[in-house]
Structure 1
Amino acid sequence: MGECQPEAQVNGFAGSMIIALLCSKYEARLTEVSISQMYKVFFNDRTIYLDDTLPDMTKVGKDYVCAFENITDLKPQIKQFLDPEKKGNLHIFHDDQESLFKIFKQCFTNINAGGGLVRNSKGEILLIFRRGKWDLPKGKTEEGESIEQTAIREVQEECGLDGVELRDFLMSTYHIFKDSLRLVLKRTDWYSMHYPGNSKPKPQKEEDITDVRWLKPSGLDEIYSNTFLSVKDILEAGH
């Protein structure tokens, strides 16, 4: 099969490649967010859309559009999308969307994490600054703890706050990072949280966090201009 084509052309996936090749070359981050009838998979400032219908071909512009056929073709298509020379988003469609996403996840090693969207008594939102980007506190699950325990622990460790209270589940996101010769897909479950205290947050510098701030929702424009697409979705889901 040929490569997916830009400018709203529909095609199958490129020829097969082993996943190890994909794993050894790419380190960029990829994040997935499930929204309504579509899965959105973020890769830096680009997006993979996994859907059960063909997108509106008059609106996709220079994006790539592909029909899913099998996992053998899906792996090289992911590699093709991760090529730093590629531009535009990727639309993958199949009539069984849930099966499509399940197969998509099989292309990676999977781990779990938890994180929090924390508010204080003033309604301000807790954000961290890590590696040049505004982010939300999160981290990998440790052996023997629930995902809720993970979320609370990571917020308290990364922000130096005790007594954070868990509220409601918000959403799940996924991102990919390189681990040795593997591509790891990390699922992060996000929860709304409340901090009833008045202690000043402290950044966990060993995790490359250089700043922690409480910000009013009206002041998030500064954050939106320098954060990940997934964080924008989490902030919107938490409103």
Structure 2
Amino acid sequence: MYKVFVNDTPIIITSSLKKEKNFTSYNFNNINFKEILHQTKQKKGIGICLHSGNLESDWISFTSNFEVVSAAGGLVVNAKKEYLFIFRNNVWDLPKGHLEKDETTETAAIREVEEECGISDLTLIKPLTTTYHSYYRNGLKLKQTYWFLMHSDYEGELKPQIEEGITQVNFKKESEIREILKNSYANIRLVYDTYKQG
């Protein structure tokens, strides 16, 4: 299964015939891509499910409509079981950024977290998930973000990367996370939920 967010509305591409609650379903072979994208933008939160007979082939077909942009980021936990969040464009987010030429996803994830948060002493624990979201900037883009669970014992001052529009960087207690996620993106909630599910 693949899940692509258009704004915060999901398009699910799946080989499962299970009906998703409140989702409009289509056979992948019968879709008009532009129509599906337009419909997703109009529905505001109600998803679309595309049933596929050949998931990998249909995923390649689906992504051919975009310029795919690769990024990597991290969910950082400290010894107090607090989680590192950034505040950018009035929304809570996790640190992430584009891969540079010939850079691995692991290296990019650590570099981006360090740059955006002014943190060091990061240890990469394991891959968490990969998220997808589309946006329009000089053409239709599909951002594919590789997420990693990280740990840090850093106790110095955190410094937001202001030139990237980040105004706050904070470690948040677990009791604060659900409230923070109400003012975040669907793919960030997905990363956190993946972590919590183990």
TM-score (norm 2): 0.90
Deviations 1:95-147 (A, max 9, x none): 22222222111111112111001011211100001111110000001123211
Deviation (angstroms), 1:74: 3.8
Number of paired residues?
Answer: 195
Correspondence for 2:52 among 94, 115, 129: 94
Q: What is the match of residue 124 of structure 1?
A: 82
The one-letter amino acid of 1:41's match is V
SS in 1 for 2:29: coil
Mapped to 2, the partners of 1:116 and 1:52 lie a distance apart of 29
Alignment of 1:102-141 (within 5 A): 102-141=60-99
Contact 1:74–1:104 under 8 Å retained in 2: no
Correspondence for 2:131 among 149, 168, 173: 173
The one-letter amino acid of 2:141's match is V
Deviation (angstroms), 1:45: 3.0
Contact 1:160–1:201 under 8 Å retained in 2: yes
- Identical aligned residues as a percent: 37
Q: What is the match of residue 218 of structure 1?
A: 175
Alignment of 1:142-181 (within 5 A): 142-180=100-138
The one-letter amino acid of 2:188's match is V
Deviation (angstroms), 1:81: 2.4
- Structure 1 residues 144, 40: CA separation in 2 closer, same or farther (over 3 Å shift)? closer
Mapped to 2, the partners of 1:177 and 1:68 lie a distance apart of 21
Correspondence for 1:64 among 21, 24, 48: 24
Deviation (angstroms), 1:235: 0.7
* Ranges in structure 2 where 5+ consecutive residues have no aligned partner: none
Bigger Cα Rg: 1
TM-score (norm 1): 0.75
Contact 1:119–1:125 under 8 Å retained in 2: yes
Deviations 1:11-69 (A, max 9, x none): xxxxxxxxxxxxxxxxxxxxxxxxxxx3222222321121113343xx644x4221111
- Structure 1 residues 127, 111: CA separation in 2 closer, same or farther (over 3 Å shift)? same
Mapped to 2, the partners of 1:121 and 1:94 lie a distance apart of 43
Q: What is the match of residue 199 of structure 1?
A: 156
Mapped to 2, the partners of 1:135 and 1:227 lie a distance apart of 6
Mapped to 2, the partners of 1:74 and 1:140 lie a distance apart of 30
Deviation (angstroms), 1:82: 4.4
Deviation (angstroms), 1:183: 0.8
Mapped to 1, the partners of 2:177 and 2:129 lie a distance apart of 20
Which structure has the highest helix share of the two? 2
